[in-house]
Amino acid sequence: MKRIRLLDIAHARSGDKGDTANVGLIALKPAYYPILVKHVTAARVARHFKGMISGPVERYELPNLHALNFLLHGALDGGGTISLKTDAQGKVFSTALLRLEVEIPR
């Protein structure tokens, strides 16, 4: 097995809806998409962002775009105008997710 960062096999963009951040995680090659589906579960992402979000994580699959969409609830200190965070609109949760490491067969 070898350990890789999602940064090596995926790219991402994130945005906001109220106090929820969304992260679209996109495989850099179609062959990587099954790795994302298998390893980057909602539970795994919730553990990754422990201490950064107060609500649950939902995951949706877009096999047509080789992408997963994550909703991170309670991620933005109230969201939009209320939030005191630098990243009040969740713009960089994208690259924060790409720090996640997964183990894949060599």
Smaller CB separation from another protein, 55 or 105: 55
Number of residues lying near another protein (CB under 8 A): 44
Q: What's the CA dihedral at 25, 66, 2, 100 to 10 degrees?
A: 10
Give residues 31-50 in contact with another protein (rule: CB under 8 A): 48-50
Using CB under 8 A, pick the residue from 22, 32, 45, 57 that binds another protein: 22
Using CB under 8 A, pick the residue from 8, 43, 54, 61 that binds another protein: 61
